[in-house]
Amino acid sequence: MVASPHTEKFAAYLRMLKDRSGRGYDRLGKEAGVSGSSLHRYCSGLGVPTDYRVVHAFAKVCGASAEELRELHRLWALADTDRDAPATDGKENPQPLPDTEPVEPVVLAQAGTGPADATPPEITPDRTDEPRRSRLPEKLSARLAVLAAVVAVVLVAGFVWLPGSSPDGASPAAGDRLLESPACKSVSMGQHDECVREVQNLLAKAKGKLAIDGDFGPETLRRLTAFQVLAGLPATSVADEATKKALYAQKVSMTTWSPARVAKRIREVFVEDPDTAVAIARCASFLDPLWVLPNTNGSRNWGVFQISDARLRDLDGTPLRAFDPEWNIKAAHRLWSVRHDFHDWPSCEAALKKDRPKS
pLDDT at 227: 98
> What is the pLDDT at residue 157?
43
Q: Residues near 266 by Cβ (< 8 Å), separated by ≥ 6?
A: 274, 277, 278, 281, 304, 329
Cβ neighbours around 171 below 10 Å, total? 10
Does residue 340 sit in the same domain as residue 271?
yes
Q: Is residue 140 part of a domain?
A: no
Is 141 within the bounds of a domain? no
Regarding whether 263 and 241 lie in a shared domain, the answer is: no
CA nearest neighbour of 262 among 319, 348, 332: 332
Which domain-ending residue is among 42, 61, 81?
Answer: 81
What pLDDT, on a 0 to 100 scale, did the predictor assign at position 268? 98
Residue 130 lies in a domain: no
Residue 223 sits in the same domain as residue 265: no
* pTM: predicted TM-score of the whole model, two decimal places: 0.59
Is 104 domain-assigned? no
Range of the structural domain that residue 25 is part of: 5-81
How far apart are the C-alpha atoms of 342 and 356, rounded to whole Å?
14
Picking from 209, 226, 249, the residue at the C-terminal end of a domain is 249
Q: How many residues does the chain have?
A: 359
Cβ-Cβ contacts under 8 Å for 143 (sequence gap 6 or more): 110, 111
Closest CA to 146 of 108, 113, 178: 108
In this prediction, residue 271 carries a pLDDT of 97
Domain membership flag for residue 228: yes
Ranges of the chain with pLDDT below 70: 1-2, 82-175, 296, 351, 353-359
Q: Which amino acid, one-letter code, is at 133?
A: R
Residues 241 and 281 in one domain: no
278 and 340 share one domain: yes
Asked whether residue 306 is domain-assigned, the answer is: yes
Closest C-alpha among 348, 178, 214 to residue 278? 348
Q: Is 307 exposed, middle or buried (0-12, 13-18, 19+ CB in 10 A)?
A: buried
Q: Tell me how many domains the chain contains.
A: 3
User: How far apart are the two ends of the chain, measured CA to CA in Å?
Assistant: 45
- The CATH number that applies at residue 241 is 1.10.101.10
